Structure 1
Amino acid sequence: MSTPPPSPAAPSTSHTRRELLMAMAGVAATVVLAAFDSTIVTTTLPRVAEALNGMALYAWVGTGYLLATAASILIFGRLGDMFGRKPLMLISVAVVALGSIACGLAQSMPQLIAFRTLQGVGGGMMIATAFAAPADLFPDAKRRVKWMALVSAAFAMASGIGPVLGGAATQALGWRAAFFISPIAAAGALFLLARYFPLIRPMHDDSRKVDWVGAVLLVIAVGCPLAAIELAFAPGDHAHPLLGLALAVAGCAAIALLIPIERRVASPIFPLRVVTGREPQLLNLAAMTVGAVMFILIFYSPLLLQQVLGYSPSEAGLLLTPLVAAISVGSIINGRLFPKQSEPQRLMVFGGGLLAAGSLMVLLISPGTSAWWILAAFFVNGCALGFLLPNLTLFMQMLSERRDVGVASALVQTTRAIGSAIGTALVGILISQSNVLDGVRTGLVLCVALAIACAVLAHRVKMKNLATRRKAA
């Protein structure tokens, strides 16, 4: 690993505890906004599509957002490293708020898709900067992990509250009202960030000229394969396998072009040194498995509860609450245990094993299963994710040079998104080829296998060796 450039005085020593607390409150508020932005309209979309007479375009409201987010995370992660994260966080909050207002005023389904895609770009900017921001404030990973538990807990709780808020606003005031919740949350985040988050000098010694060619290729490399999955395996008449194949080929071609270009330019948009080591490669593979398991559980467990077990939508929502709420529990426990670990990757090994056990518990759910068992199964999965999600980001930050913290954090978020897209598409195919029960159960068997694979990959990550190297250096 090359020697990182000299760093400025650590913010954790030059700011008071209150200032750091308020700065992290701003980061947490930004993460809450990101969660609201991605989840608050999920319960609203059926009524929106009906009101705008756009049921045929229903799926693209969510797909446009997710594609824009996934394709932009890495770029904004790198720009945050180059130019500082505070300006990008402020811009992202404004983009999301304005995009949400535009969605609330949309007069047609194509307009709504366009505005949601714009929000997706803001969401990608927000995720790329907010999850990397704790590294600016707390260079010491042992201190940082406790604060990252706060960020993970805020994101998890907001993800669970978002659909409820959206549904309540829609029922009380109409579907347009749901889009005006995010701007209200944005006002608080904007104030806290502008007032309390410090303007920290970027950790960069290269030319800050933006690699636009690499940026375009990176968008194609990430976005086209994800779009290909959506188009090739969409249900019924919405499937376009040939177009999906063409997009997949375009994505592979972009990757083939991107690698030599990034090796030549002075300041690459995606520095390959971030993934040259064995540990970063293992962590990103683990992130793909975690993303797949997490989203299979989130997307298809409601289907299992409602269509197979006969629960109402509201009952299913209550039973699924521990899956999201317990992420904060696991994150807090992980934050307490991390400073005491000589080999912190063991926490991820434990999380992977716990996720496999939780997936197995969900697999054993059948008609007549006690509600307490269902609640316990989702609680176990939520706790497991609390041991995995913060550590994936933290370990990538620890493995990277200080100047690459943003793009390293963004990379693990991107690979997790890719895993989630592949996992949900695969289970969707299984359901379409059989039935809901068999398809979801096969998907849950896949979850068990992927969770075990995550534990094996985490076991092979040697964080202790990294600490030894840095101490020796």
Structure 2
Amino acid sequence: MNAAATPPAESPAEPPRTKRDLLMAMAGVSATVVLAAFDSTIVSTTLPRVAEALNGMALYAWVGTGYLLATAASILIFGRLGDLFGRKPWMLLSIAIIALGSISCGLSQSMEQLIAFRTLQGVGGGMMIATAFAAPADLFPDAKERVRWLALVSATFAMASGIGPLLGGAATQALGWRAAFFISPCAAIVAMFLLVRYFPRMRPAGAQSGGRRIDWLGALLLVIAVSAPLAAMELGFAPGGHAHPMAALALAVAGIAAIACLIPYERRIAWPIFPLRVIAQPEPQLLNIASLAVGAVMFILIFFSPLLLQTQMGYTPSEAGLLLTPLVAAIPVGSIVSGYLFPKQTEPQRLMVFGGCLLAVGSLMVLTFNADSPVIWILAAFFVNGTALGFLLPNLTLFMQMLSERRDVGVASALVQTTRAIGSAAGTALVGIAIARSSVLDGVRMGLVFSAVLALICAYLAHRVKMKNVLTRQAARRNA
């Protein structure tokens, strides 16, 4: 890589120093994460009624697809822009986009309008995830202190994701489906106030010099590289007559071509949108492969366990939702325990190894479900899986931040979120194919076996990530 392509590392401005300042700043980040979780999940229980009211059942799937594609395509871009220009402006802008998009969704008069506004919200959601999960790195340079706050952020996101569908369903039941879209704007007011008032403006040093440029071509190639393969999976594996194999093939080719053009282009420019040094070493590569696996397992469990409970075990949708609650509720438990244990570890990757093995055990526990399975066993299985995810999700982000240079923390964090999203889409698509080719029971069971294998692969990859040396180097820098 030439000299022009490796600008000097720059440190952000000093974070707030008092405990109260730090607490209130993180309260703003947590409120932002709550908004992101509400935005992505609150529509799930209202969408059938929305589609019926707008006479748009044929376009039902694209409400979710548009949002997910926009989110996945924008995370990396805004993670990098946060590194270049500071994170606070992007967090504030994301709140505004989500709030305005949600209001527009609530006022939609057609399914096409709803899809357009949800896609706009997806851009805001990607912007928010990219910046909010990287913000603790600005406030807490010490990884041993940061891990507890990352655990809090992950726990907040998980809990809000579980509450979102309940709030959406309650609002729809009481006031109609349009009311559900006005919950996020109310949460946005709180997040906006806390960020404006308490989160510091921490622009990277030297950002005011004007030497930084936005890599527009790289951003375009990156959007195509991420979104085209995901759209190809949606179109290629859609159920019934909704599949479009040729369009899916064209999108897949476009994604591969974009990747082939992106890599050499990003090596040549001074301020790439995706600096390849982020994944130049083996450890970040292993972590992102592990993130793919974790995303696949997590969404296989979330999407297909309720299907198993309802179609094969006779539970109603509301009963299945209650039985699945420990899967979400236990993620904060695992995150908090992991955050407590992390400072005591000389080789913290062992926490992820444990999480991967525990996730494999949990997947096999779900595999044993049958019509005679006691409720306590079902709850225990989902609790085990949720706890395992709590050991994995925050550590994937934290380890990527620790392995990256300070100037690349945002894009490194965003990369983990992006690979997890890609893994989620791939995992659900593969299990969907298995169900379509066999039966619900056989397809879900194949998916659970696949999940157990992926979880063990994640544990093996984590074992190969040597974090001891990273901690030693960071301690040496602090003592110098």
Tell me which residue corresponds to 2:20: 18
Matched length = 471
TM-score normalised by structure 2 residue count: 0.96
1:268 aligns with 2:272: yes
Cα distance in 1 for residues equivalent to 2:150 and 2:333: 13
Q: Which amino acid aligns with 1:157?
A: M
Tell me which residue corresponds to 1:449: 453
Contact 2:13/2:203, CA 8 A, preserved across alignment: no
Q: Note the C-alpha offset of 1:6.
A: 4.9
**What is the SS of the residue equivalent to 1:221?**
helix
Q: Note the C-alpha offset of 1:4.
A: 6.5
Q: Note the C-alpha offset of 1:190.
A: 0.3
Q: How does 1:172-251 map to 2 (within 5 A)?
A: 172-202=174-204, 207-251=211-255
Q: Which amino acid aligns with 1:66?
A: L
Displaced runs of 4+ in structure 1, greater than 6 A? Answer: 1-4
Tell me which residue corresponds to 1:296: 300
Q: How does 1:28-39 map to 2 (within 5 A)?
A: 28-39=30-41
Cα distance in 2 for residues equivalent to 1:203 and 1:337: 34
Q: Note the C-alpha offset of 1:10.
A: 4.2
Tell me which residue corresponds to 1:357: 361
**What is the SS of the residue equivalent to 1:198?**
coil
Contact 1:53/1:109, CA 8 A, preserved across alignment: yes
Q: Note the C-alpha offset of 1:472.
A: 5.8
Which of 94, 117, 120 lines up with 1:118 in the alignment? 120
Contact 2:87/2:203, CA 8 A, preserved across alignment: no
CA shift digits 1:66-120 (9 cap, x unpaired): 0000000000000000010000000000000000000000000000000000000
Cα distance in 2 for residues equivalent to 1:351 and 1:128: 24
Which of 84, 87, 90 lines up with 1:88 in the alignment? 90
Q: Which amino acid aligns with 1:329?
A: V
Cα distance in 1 for residues equivalent to 2:139 and 2:14: 7
Cα distance in 1 for residues equivalent to 2:37 and 2:43: 11
Q: Note the C-alpha offset of 1:398.
A: 0.3
Which of 141, 147, 151 lines up with 2:143 in the alignment? 141
CA shift digits 1:404-462 (9 cap, x unpaired): 00000000000000000000000000000011000000000000000000000000000
Which of 418, 435, 439 lines up with 2:439 in the alignment? 435
**What is the SS of the residue equivalent to 2:203?**
coil
Q: Note the C-alpha offset of 1:208.
A: 1.3
Range with bigger deviation, 51-60 or 204-213:
204-213
Q: Note the C-alpha offset of 1:181.
A: 0.4
Cα distance in 1 for residues equivalent to 2:205 and 2:352: 29
Tell me which residue corresponds to 1:48: 50
Q: Note the C-alpha offset of 1:466.
A: 2.2
Q: Note the C-alpha offset of 1:465.
A: 2.0
Cα distance in 1 for residues equivalent to 2:299 and 2:475: 38
Unmatched 5+ residue regions in structure 2?
none
CA shift digits 1:262-301 (9 cap, x unpaired): 0001100000000000000000000000000000000000
1:371 aligns with 2:375: yes
Cα distance in 1 for residues equivalent to 2:26 and 2:299: 27
Unmatched 5+ residue regions in structure 1?
none
Cα distance in 1 for residues equivalent to 2:134 and 2:167: 28
TM-score normalised by structure 1 residue count: 0.98
Q: Which amino acid aligns with 2:264?
A: P
Contact 1:4/1:402, CA 8 A, preserved across alignment: no
Which of 386, 390, 400 lines up with 1:382 in the alignment? 386
Cα distance in 2 for residues equivalent to 1:86 and 1:274: 22
Contact 2:13/2:204, CA 8 A, preserved across alignment: no
**What is the SS of the residue equivalent to 1:309?**
coil
**What is the SS of the residue equivalent to 1:37?**
helix
Tell me which residue corresponds to 1:320: 324
Q: Note the C-alpha offset of 1:149.
A: 1.1
Q: Which amino acid aligns with 2:44?
A: T
Q: Note the C-alpha offset of 1:15.
A: 2.1
Cα distance in 2 for residues equivalent to 1:417 and 1:463: 24
CA shift digits 1:357-413 (9 cap, x unpaired): 000100011111000000000000000000000000000000000000000000000
Q: Which amino acid aligns with 2:290?
A: A
Q: Note the C-alpha offset of 1:470.
A: 4.6
Contact 1:207/1:266, CA 8 A, preserved across alignment: no
Cα distance in 2 for residues equivalent to 1:461 and 1:367: 41
Contact 1:204/1:403, CA 8 A, preserved across alignment: no
1:420 aligns with 2:420: no
Contact 2:10/2:206, CA 8 A, preserved across alignment: no
Q: Which amino acid aligns with 1:24?
A: M
Cα distance in 2 for residues equivalent to 1:257 and 1:360: 42
Cα distance in 1 for residues equivalent to 2:463 and 2:91: 34
Contact 2:362/2:384, CA 8 A, preserved across alignment: yes
Tell me which residue corresponds to 1:74: 76
Q: Note the C-alpha offset of 1:471.
A: 5.1
Contact 2:12/2:204, CA 8 A, preserved across alignment: no
Distance 1:290 1:162, change over 3 A: same
**What is the SS of the residue equivalent to 1:209?**
coil
**What is the SS of the residue equivalent to 2:201?**
coil
Tell me which residue corresponds to 2:468: 464
Cα distance in 2 for residues equivalent to 1:471 and 1:28: 28
CA shift digits 1:135-189 (9 cap, x unpaired): 0000000000011111011100000000011011101100000000000000000
CA shift digits 1:18-56 (9 cap, x unpaired): 111010000000000000000000011000000000000
Cα distance in 1 for residues equivalent to 2:232 and 2:162: 29
Q: Note the C-alpha offset of 1:207.
A: 3.2
1:348 aligns with 2:352: yes
Tell me which residue corresponds to 2:132: 130
Cα distance in 1 for residues equivalent to 2:200 and 2:336: 25
Contact 1:82/1:204, CA 8 A, preserved across alignment: no
Q: Which amino acid aligns with 1:357?
A: V
Cα distance in 1 for residues equivalent to 2:174 and 2:311: 27
